[in-house]
Amino acid sequence: MRTYSTQVVNFYAVQEVGRVVNPLLAAGQIEGGVAQGVGYALYEKVVWKNGRMSNSQMTNYIMPTAVDVPNIEVYFEESPCEHGPYGAKGLGELPHDGPAPAILNAIQDATGINFTSIPLLPEDMYLRMVETPETVALETAGCGERPK
Amino acid sequence: MRSNVAQYELVAPGSLDAVLALLAAEPGAWTPMAGGTELMVALGAGRLEQRKLVSLWGINELRQITANDDWLTIGAAATFSDIRENAVVAKEFPLLARAASWTGAIANQNRGTLGGNIVNASPAADSPPVLLDYEAEIELVSAQGERRMPYSEFHLGYKRTVLKPQELVKAVHLPRGRRLPVEYLRKVGTRNALAISKVALACVGAMQSGKVHVVRIAAASLRETPARLSATEAALLGHALTSERIQFARQALLQEVKPIDDIRSTANYRAHVAANLLEEFLEQMAASDSKTRP
Amino acid sequence: MSAVKMQSAEIRFKVNGAERRVNVPPMKRLLDVLREDLGLTGAKEGCSEGECGSCSVLLDGVLVNSCLVPALQVNGCEVLTVEGLATNGALAHIQQTFLELGGTQCGICTPGMMLAAESLLRKNPQPELDEIREGLAGNLCRCTGYMRIINAVRHSSQAPATAAVPAPEDAVHR
């Protein structure tokens, strides 16, 4: 591992939304939320200094570009909700919930380390894996189900 | 838009001689601007202090990329897109084409110029380490005449260069026919595109009889200026690439670099990753040697 | 410090094929000339620092961030904005594909995205998927996750349909 960077290459979102009313917009909303979740997980650190955000420019608040966002596939489950129009439920905020936990779980699967804070930057991963390896040893010792 | 643009003068004399005459007539009063990808950002943010600007855009004499047998000459106002699209650059100086492709994104590359980038003198800039590895020379011009020096002598300290107020960078010259068999360039940014470098390493080299025969290692964001890592080079020159030697070179690098903590990254991360990139380059060097062994 | 004289320059240039003339400070940003002096509000101000691409236009056929171009440097040039893509009321192919394939949600990035796509396809009529991603790397989008934008560019190109982006008809797997 050279740069401690993470790259999401594929993302599969299964979303239960009651009833899909407009497939194009519904899928588009999920894809956008996933992209935002990828940023939340890996890139979008807010740097605070004396109570002010010191990285409030697009050059230093890092959101994903078209080269950073993975291939995203969207699948809908529909269990119509009796309270919604045609059985539909809201899906606006929904896609933002899953990506960061999923990505960190994938990182745990790859490294054996249970990172619990986002965004998980390469600097954070480096710190954990290189500067405090005793923490890493404790983590991996605790992962009883990890295949050898 | 945080500036009152009506308070800024911008003139376009239209020729190199006319620009130089203006700079000589009022030294320090006029700030040259080519593509504007740096100065216009300052304008938008309300922090462009220079009120009198002189445009270098459209002066073809400054934008040419020409070659003779010995040198490739890149005009200071050549854009990064011009550099990417040039056949000689692609064939003989591929690391420069790659560095140009990583500078901002396409719209920035269409306007940003090599000269502007060099004069802006950010230690994080993508092209300068490559220019150092390729042993570039830089040509400066004023109404009084020209001077030319190794590019390695251009930067004096953080955002300080040898450029005098009435001088412009005229061109960067790259010596042809000195291409080395191993070339390595890797940039670690905050994301995969549109990123300012956290650390970048540019290396060229050659092995001979199992030992490092030539090696040049240059870095971005590891010192106050773009810099050759001469102690690291010295640790490698003339030696076989045993694992002990590679570790020794890693240590030399870690001793030699002086990265900082800033908004993009941390000093420790930068140093450690730079050492990893060095090791990646040395693996390529070692592999190049096995290929040529009978 | 003496007061600086208020600056003004006459700029003559072509915008979307029509000759235009404005009197503006020479350092006025092309973005502001387009929006304020010419009423062409397609180009948007997203970041003021040439990072988001929502101000992108074609200047002499070349993609630029108009927030970084001073008016004086546009004298004698040709500018293409999003308003110039359609001809005689008929949408350009790139506009049609964005519309049909969900390439636009809030619309802020869309003018810049379409011009970036136009610039890419003029140079590279059959881009691979990674070339499309690179061609759009300077245009940030928060709504779409880029998938349907990339899809729209792919459908606008002459590239064979082998890129790994789901077609709109596959959007809903039931």
Chain A partners within 8 Å of B283 (Cβ): none
For an interface test with C, the pick among B110, B190, B192 (most C C-beta atoms closer than 10 Å) comes out as B110
Chain C partners within 8 Å of B43 (Cβ): 27, 29
Domain for residue C4, yes or no? no
Last residue of a domain, one of C34, C50, C84: C84
Picking from B284, B153, B291, B152, the residue whose alpha carbon sits closest to that of residue B218 is: B152
Domain for residue C170, yes or no? no
Distance CA C75, CA C5 (A): 21
Question: How confident is residue B82, by pLDDT bands cut at 50, 70 and 90?
Answer: very high
Find the closest chain A residue to B270 by CA distance: A123
Q: What is the mean pLDDT of residues A119-131?
A: 95
CATH code where residue C108 lies:
1.10.150.120
Chain A partners within 8 Å of C98 (Cβ): none
Same domain, C126 and C160: yes
Write the pLDDT tens digit of every residue in C47-88: 999 999 999 999 999 999 999 999 999 999 999 999 999 999
Q: What angle do CA C12, C17, C23 make, to 5 degrees?
A: 20
User: What is the predicted pLDDT for the residue at A148?
Assistant: 34
| Identity of the residue in A2, A60, A126 whose CB atom sits nearest the CB atom of B280 | A2
Estimate to the nearest angstrom the gap between the alpha carbon of A90 and the chain centroid.
21
First to last CA, chain C: 72
Domain for residue C173, yes or no? no
To the nearest whole Å, the CA of C136 is away from the closest chain B CA by 8
Estimate to the nearest angstrom the gap between the alpha carbon of A147 and the chain centroid.
24
Domain for residue C171, yes or no? no
Identify whether the C-beta of residue B174 lies closer than 8 Å to the C-beta of residue B93. yes
Question: How confident is residue C5, by pLDDT bands cut at 50, 70 and 90?
Answer: confident
Kindly report the three-state secondary structure assignment for every residue of B115-174: HHHHHHCCCCCCHHHHHHHCCCEEEEEECCEEEEEEHHHCEEECCEECCCCCCEEEEEEE
Q: In what order do the strands lie in the sheet with B227-228?
A: B182-189, B197-208, B211-220, B227-228
Chain A partners within 8 Å of C141 (Cβ): 32, 66
Chain A partners within 8 Å of C102 (Cβ): 24-25, 27-28
| Identity of the residue in C136, C146, C171 whose CB atom sits nearest the CB atom of A24 | C171
Same domain, C61 and C97: no
First to last CA, chain A: 19
Same domain, C79 and C101: no
Domain for residue C68, yes or no? yes
Catalytic member of A77, A78, A93, A123: A93
Chains touching C (3+ CB pairs < 8 Å): A, B
Last residue of a domain, one of C65, C84, C103: C84
To the nearest whole Å, the CA of B267 is away from the closest chain A CA by 10
User: What is the predicted pLDDT for the residue at C6?
Assistant: 86
Q: What does pTM read for this prediction?
A: 0.94
User: What is the predicted pLDDT for the residue at C118?
Assistant: 97
CB-CB neighbours of C63 under 10 Å: 30
Burial class (CB in 10 A: 0-12, 13-18, 19+), B188: buried
Q: How many C-alpha atoms does B199 have within 13 Å on its Cβ side?
A: 27
Q: Which amino acid is at C102?
A: G
User: What is the predicted pLDDT for the residue at C3?
Assistant: 57
* pLDDT at residue B279 is higher than 50: yes
Non-local (6+) Cβ contacts of B233 within 8 A are: B215, B216, B217
Identify whether the C-beta of residue B234 lies closer than 8 Å to the C-beta of residue B255. no
User: Do C116 and B12 count as a contact with CB atoms less than 8 A apart?
Assistant: no
Question: How confident is residue A135, by pLDDT bands cut at 50, 70 and 90?
Answer: low
User: What is the predicted pLDDT for the residue at B89?
Assistant: 98
Chain C partners within 8 Å of A80 (Cβ): none
Write the pLDDT tens digit of every residue in B149-187: 999 999 999 999 999 999 999 999 999 999 999 999 999
Question: How confident is residue A95, by pLDDT bands cut at 50, 70 and 90?
Answer: very high
User: Do C136 and A66 count as a contact with CB atoms less than 8 A apart?
Assistant: yes
User: What is the predicted pLDDT for the residue at C165?
Assistant: 45
Write the pLDDT tens digit of every residue in B85-123: 999 999 999 999 999 999 999 999 999 999 999 999 999
Non-local (6+) Cβ contacts of A44 within 8 A are: A61, A62, A63, A119
Non-local (6+) Cβ contacts of A77 within 8 A are: A14, A15, A16, A17
- Window 23-52 of A, Cβ < 8 Å to B: 43, 47
Burial class (CB in 10 A: 0-12, 13-18, 19+), C88: exposed
The answer to whether C146 contacts chain A (CB < 8 Å) is: yes
Write the pLDDT tens digit of every residue in B22-64: 999 999 999 999 999 999 999 999 999 999 999 999 999 999 9
Non-local (6+) Cβ contacts of B18 within 8 A are: none
Write the pLDDT tens digit of every residue in C122-157: 999 999 999 999 999 999 999 999 999 999 999 998
* pLDDT at residue B198 is higher than 50: yes
First to last CA, chain B: 65
Q: What is the mean pLDDT of residues B190-194?
A: 95
Domain for residue C127, yes or no? yes
Question: How confident is residue C163, by pLDDT bands cut at 50, 70 and 90?
Answer: very low
Last residue of a domain, one of C84, C101, C124: C84
Question: How confident is residue A132, by pLDDT bands cut at 50, 70 and 90?
Answer: confident
CB-CB neighbours of B181 under 10 Å: 16
Distance CA B145, CA A112 (A): 64
Find the closest chain B residue to A122 by CA distance: B269
Chain B residues at the A interface, defined by Cβ less than 8 Å, are: 105, 188, 190-196, 263-266, 268-269, 272-273, 276-277, 279-280
Rg of chain C over all Cα atoms, to the nearest angstrom: 18
Note if A145 is an active site residue. no
The answer to whether A4 contacts chain B (CB < 8 Å) is: yes
Domain for residue C1, yes or no? no
User: Do C68 and B106 count as a contact with CB atoms less than 8 A apart?
Assistant: no
3-state helix, strand, coil in chain A (%, to 5): 40, 10, 50
To the nearest whole Å, the CA of C98 is away from the closest chain B CA by 21
User: Do B193 and A3 count as a contact with CB atoms less than 8 A apart?
Assistant: no
Q: What angle do CA A36, A40, A44 make, to 5 degrees?
A: 105
* pLDDT at residue A53 is higher than 90: yes
User: What is the predicted pLDDT for the residue at C158?
Assistant: 66
Q: What is the mean pLDDT of residues B290-294?
A: 58
| Count: domains in chain C | 2
Q: What is the mean pLDDT of residues C32-59?
A: 98
Domain that holds residue C31: 9-84
Same domain, C77 and C118: no
Write the pLDDT tens digit of every residue in A15-39: 999 999 999 999 999 999 999 999 9
Picking from B41, B53, B45, the residue whose alpha carbon sits closest to that of residue B13 is: B53
- Window 31-50 of C, Cβ < 8 Å to A: 46-47, 49
Picking from B98, B102, B107, the residue whose alpha carbon sits closest to that of residue B40 is: B107
Write down all domains in chain A, each with its CATH number in brackets. Answer: 11-142 (3.30.365.10)
Distance CA C110, CA C104 (A): 6
Question: How confident is residue B292, by pLDDT bands cut at 50, 70 and 90?
Answer: low
Residues of chain C with pLDDT > 90, as a percent, come to: 84
Q: What is the mean pLDDT of residues A83-107?
A: 95
Q: What are phi and psi of C122, to 5 degrees?
A: -65, -35
CB-CB neighbours of A100 under 10 Å: 19
Residue C132, token pair as written in the block: 């499309």
Identify whether the C-beta of residue B67 lies closer than 8 Å to the C-beta of residue B73. yes
- Window 104-143 of A, Cβ < 8 Å to B: 122-123, 126-127, 130-131
Distance CA A138, CA A143 (A): 9
To the nearest whole Å, the CA of A142 is away from the closest chain B CA by 27
Question: How confident is residue B291, by pLDDT bands cut at 50, 70 and 90?
Answer: low
Chains touching B (3+ CB pairs < 8 Å): A, C
Distance CA B105, CA B82 (A): 14
Domain for residue C174, yes or no? no
Between strands A48-49 and A71-77, the pairing is unpaired
Same domain, C99 and C136: yes
* pLDDT at residue C2 is higher than 70: no
| Identity of the residue in A28, A34, A71 whose CB atom sits nearest the CB atom of C164 | A71
| Identity of the residue in A20, A29, A57 whose CB atom sits nearest the CB atom of C172 | A20
The answer to whether C131 contacts chain A (CB < 8 Å) is: no
